[in-house]
Amino acid sequence: MCGIVAYIGPKDATPFLLEGLARLEYRGYDSAGVAVAGRTGGLKLRKVKGRVADLAAAVPARFKGGTGIGHTRWATHGVPSDANAHPHLDNAERIAVVHNGIIENADELRVKLTADGAVFRSETDTEVLSHLIAAHAAEGVELEDAVRAALGRVVGTYGIAVLDSEQPDRIVVARNGSPIVLGIGEKEMFAASDVSALVRYTRQVVHLEDGELATVRADGFRTFTADARTTHRQPSTVDWEIDSFDTGGYEHYLLKEIHEQPGSVERTLSGRLDERFSTAHLGGLNLDARELREIRRVKILGCGSAYYAGEMGAQLIEELARIPAHSEPASEFRYRNPVIEADTLYVAVSQSGETYDTLAAVQEIKRKGGRVLGVVNTVGSAIARECDGGIYLHAGPEVSVASTKAFTSTVVAFALLALHFGRIHDLSPADGRRIVAALQALPDQIREVLDQSEAIAKLAAEYADSTGMMFIGRVRGYPVAREGAQKLKEISYVHAEAYPASELKHGPLALISPELPTVALVPDDELLDKNLTTLGEIKARSGRVIAVAHRRPEDKLVDDCILVPKSEPELDPLLLNIPLQLLAYHAAVALGRDVDKPRNLAKSVTVE
């Protein structure tokens, strides 16, 4: 989950390293550091507990060198501190290493290295790598050979960049379970854990595969395997704009990304709706109609918001295609020794396309002969490359830790998949036209909801000091309630729970009081009367109710109401979710939270 940057070329590395780390700070922000190989020899190192801005303030003006690496950290081993910040050096201060991942046998290696004379200065697992590489970097040994030998003794996941003050003409990077991307410049080269650090400088990138290393020099790169076999990687072009990584005049990235959703939905839909046949074009599935008809079940795997989007997707598939569908946490999937069925389609969901738990689930399914599709936002990511086919979201870069536009685009992608499945099965042309029209109407309907942002901000300020919140919904509304509770928890730190509205009287009703308000999803559908009955149960116990509805319930049933435009019943959850994003955002702002970088969390979870 940490951020890695590296530069080699004729310019001073430090400005790029600091700017790149600032763009990657959403991946980790408890400490940061940089190391450069000075032009007169030796390594220069600065690292601090705190944000990248603190690091920039600590770097002296004469901190210069044409080869450098940097890191912004999300702590796994050892508390945030100057000592635990990366880069980590060996005893001779010759080798510098930055690392994302977890070295599982670090304790065992630390004991052996200590016995051989290594002196450890931190609590991290990463420092093991610097001492291991140094142990193999005898005089005359190429840096890449020392790195290969060291990694041969390592068990775990890693994305690393290694700098040797005695070989400053190169940087060696390696990947195993944690992303590393090379950026190709004009007589200069870059590397990073995410393309967001690179797009200001180059659009030509190379994604390393697991088990692959690269030697990066100013004039090019060479990729190879752990046993020194040369591999061949062709660059791809990144189509993201640099402006996508700026706040664009909004106070926070999160607010910007919430307001970008009409455009991101339009991009997800672009070129994929077929009005003539009332269906969706999804050529990237790599499945023809005959193969799709043979599928008897769909299982969706994701983590966090991707899991909840999968729940909404499963509901759409069952309703429109009448195929059994189920969503479950990817983090648990492979540990229950799952039965992989030949007639089941597995769908892996990840905004980054690098989520380690989801990638590991995909690999388990593939190992057992299953067919997997990916629903991802990042072109060329590990999950996208591993899957048999899939759907790119085209939502654009998402910087804030809390997912909003990628979540919404994911649900839209599932609506397209469900429509495609449904029309191949038994969904009528009339129902297909109904869904196509509703999808086309979504961007403008989302804009209608976003126009209520100021009113929702006032409402959020009134409720922000609550000890907690309950979120409830029925059937289609329940995954929306779960996502709404997730958003409130992760950015405002207000405790929130989500329950099916029908389950309230089976236990959670005991929690209802004036101090615990309830956010209730009350769409105008076949379950409206049952939802209104639940609101009555809450009000009878002096609970406060915020309804998110298509029309306001009676005043005696609600304290406040947020109205959303009506779509088709299957797509209503998409619109019901947008006010919950705004409610969580404005509550977090009212409480003075760091909205884009909530405590203890990071954007791309590339460790288990």
Asked if 399 and 375 count as a contact pair (C-beta separation under 8 A), the reply is no
Which two tokens mark 589? 């702002």
Q: Is 199 helix (H, G, I), strand (E, B) or coil?
A: coil
Give Cβ neighbours of residue 140 (< 8 Å, ≥ 6 apart): none
Q: Are 121 and 83 in contact (CB under 8 A)?
A: yes
Catalytic one among 2, 303, 387, 561?
Answer: 2
Question: Nearest-CA neighbor of 296 among 344, 340, 347, 338?
Answer: 344
CA distance 567 to 439: 9
For residue 360, give the nearest of 317, 301, 319, 304 by alpha carbon.
301
- How far is the C-alpha of 453 from the C-alpha of 29, rounded, in Å? 29
Strand ordering across the sheet containing 297-302: 325-329, 297-302, 344-350, 371-376, 389-392
DSSP structural state of residue 335: G
**Which position has the token pair 């990916």?**
374
Enter the tokens of residue 159.
């994305």
Look at residue 519 and give its three-state secondary structure: strand
Q: Left (φ > 0), alpha (ψ -120 to 50) or beta: where does 228 sit? A: left
Q: Catalytic pick from 299, 539, 597, 603?
A: 603
* Residue 259 φ/ψ, nearest 5 degrees: -80, -15
| Amino acid letter, residue 16 | F
97 vs 86: CA distance, rounded Å: 7
Active-site residue flag, 487? no
Angle between helices 305-321 and 572-590 (to 10 degrees): 160
Q: Rounded to an integer, what distance in angstroms lies between the CA atom of residue 185 and that of residue 583? A: 43
**Residue 2: phi, psi to the nearest 5?**
-80, 170
Q: What is the DSSP letter of 338?
A: P
Own/partner pairs, 109-117, CB within 8 angstroms, 24+ separation: 109/153, 109/154, 117/91
- How is residue 557 annotated by DSSP? G
Nearest alpha-carbon partner for 394 in 66, 385, 384 = 384
Inter-axis angle of helices 305-321 and 477-492, nearest 10: 170
Active-site residue flag, 2? yes
d(CA 145, CA 238) in angstroms, rounded, equals 31
Report residue 261 as tokens.
């959703």
Q: Going by DSSP bridges, is the β-strand pair 3-8/67-73 parallel, antiparallel, or unpaired?
A: antiparallel
In 469-504, which positions are buried (b, 16+ CB within 10 angstroms) versus exposed (e)?
bbbbbbbbbbbbbbbbbbbbbbbbebebbbbbbbeb
Catalytic residues: 2, 603
